[in-house]
Amino acid sequence: MHHPFWGDITEIFGEYMTEIVFQSNFFQHGNALYLGDVYDEEGEEIENAPSIEQLNEFAQSYQAFLQHLESCLEQIQHRAFERYIQLYAHYYENPEKSGEAPLIITAIEQHNFYIRNLLHIRISDRQTVRLAIRYDLDTEHGMEFKFIGNQLVKVAGIAET
């Protein structure tokens, strides 16, 4: 399948991937862009390729995301650090629990080191953009950031938003 904005779109195991690669100075390397969701709201696998109308909507959502990238990155950094404080600091800052020296992460900038490994971005309906990150402090669950209209609405483990 080919689209004027996305270029060639490839299906791999029921997921649709564009030839465009997301680049940002914040993240370590370029990353894949997936178009559309894999499952619907009832948890059923979506078997149809995105329509031209959906691909056009995804293109608008992605371009808007890029225009607001700095704001989105600030939201990611802030909320990721909050999540660290709420869920992980009690372990990583306590040598008795972790068995290691405390990380002494007291600021967003210190925490950013652990969230720079972006796995992929998924663009879906209703101006939704999800970024899946390999969170170096919890590689089993990672972190996923869900934006709707360039506003961060949910942070959770990968595939939990």
Reported as a single tens digit per residue, the pLDDT across 127-142 is: 999 999 999 999 999 9
pTM score, whole prediction = 0.92
Domain positions in the chain are 2-37+50-156
Reported as a single tens digit per residue, the pLDDT across 55-81 is: 999 999 999 999 999 999 999 999 999
Four-point Cα dihedral 15, 76, 107, 133, nearest 10: 0
Q: What is the DSSP letter of 94?
A: -
Residue 83 banded pLDDT, cuts 50, 70, 90: very high
